[in-house]
Amino acid sequence: MINCPCGSGKLLKDCCQPIIQNQKDAITAEELMRSRYTAFTLADVGYLMKSHHSKTRPIKEKKNIKKWAESVQWMGLTIINKTEGSAKDTKGMVEFKAVFIENGKLDHIHECSLFEKENGKWVYFKGTHQ
């Protein structure tokens, strides 16, 4: 039994895994955000592409993203703030901090991520670093 890397306190199989494995849709923008963090920890770049809005999807960066995700050690995710992004919304913002070790050094990403629904499903639109 593996705890979910997203830090929800749930088991991976009851949290992000069914979303990543396409057995369940993310109901909220936060759930999608968490599943994308977990996909980063698994270097599941296929899911990272799939959960990215088609207009902003970084297809050309796919290999580099995979390489980078595999090269860092993921230490945890903190959700700082969120607006909208509930089941009934079509847009949402999640501000988060993700901590990782890269080349032996502790580093982090602090980002405001924008999510939108595309074909009725939450996808990542873009982010701005804080």
The CB-of-63 to Zn ion minimum distance in angstroms stands at 25
Give the other-Cβ count within 10 Å of 35's Cβ: 27
Contacts of 33 (CB under 8 A, 6+ apart): 79, 94, 96, 113, 115, 124
Give the other-Cβ count within 10 Å of 44's Cβ: 19
Place of tokens 């296929």: 46
x/- track of binding to Zn ion for residues 22-51 (CB under 5 A)? ------------x-----------------
Binding part of the chain for Zn ion, among 3-11, 57-65, 90-98, 117-125 by CB under 5 A, reads: 3-11
For Zn ion, which residue of 16, 29, 42, 123 counts as binding (CB under 5 A)?
16
Return the beta strands (E) in the chain as ranges.
73-84, 91-102, 105-118, 121-129
For Zn ion, which residue of 1, 2, 8, 91 counts as binding (CB under 5 A)?
8
Closer by beta carbon to Zn ion, 1 or else 59:
1
Q: Give the interface with Zn ion as residue ranges (CB under 5 A).
A: 4, 6, 8, 15-16, 34
